[in-house]
Amino acid sequence: GILTGVGGTIAAVSAYDRLSSTLNTLEVSLAASGRAGLLSREDLSGFLGVISNMPGITSAAAKETLAALTSIPTISGPLFTNLIKLVADYAAATGQKAPQAMAELGKAFSNPAEGARRLDERLNFLTASQLLTIQSLDRAGDRMGAQKLLYDALEERAKGLAERGLTPLGGA
């Protein structure tokens, strides 16, 4: 009884220490890119939980995925949250692991005019009109508008792909 309790306490302290270290690293990444106030520790912890509960994403992959996103200085606000929601589906669509998928998404959304073209070459999800509008918005200085249009089109194509790709046991 006592040894079991002590073992459980040690495991809990160790898990808390690992989480604290991960959160510190993520906070440093945000601070280094001038976005120290973007997310609180609680927000980061919540995002880790959301990502690790996505289909096919382990706790370690969730940490790598969030680290990939926090390292991209041009991603913030609602787009930050939206890309987190979409990463598992995009990873399923492209056959990548979540951290690599997030890095690719982050790069694409950092420069939406070029990113839209690259993503469309890969997934063929944009109409010619959508692609031109994204490029025009970005060139006109409306990067957020270009990012939103790109996100909406990508979400329409990819949403739900991660869950549909699970085996019956994987969805349990």
Entry pTM: 0.79
Q: Is the dihedral of CA 12, 71, 69, 45 positive or negative?
A: positive
Using alpha carbons only, give the angle 116, 117, 123 rounded to the nearest 5 degrees: 85
Residue 171 confidence class, pLDDT cut points 50, 70, 90? very low
pLDDT tens-digit profile of 25-64?
888 888 887 777 778 889 889 989 999 898 888 888 999 9
State what percent of residues in the chain have pLDDT above 90.
Answer: 49
Q: Which residue has the higher pLDDT, 1 or 127?
A: 127
pLDDT at 2: 63
Q: Which residue has the higher pLDDT, 126 or 165?
A: 126
Distance CA 83, CA 85 (A): 5
Q: Is the pLDDT of residue 81 over 60?
A: yes
CA atoms within 13 A on the CB side of 9: 6
* Token pair recorded at residue 113: 């005019």
Note whether 116 and 108 are within 8 A (CB). yes
Which among 122, 121, 115, 123 has a CA at the least distance from the CA of 150?
115
pLDDT at 169: 36
Residue 168 confidence class, pLDDT cut points 50, 70, 90? very low
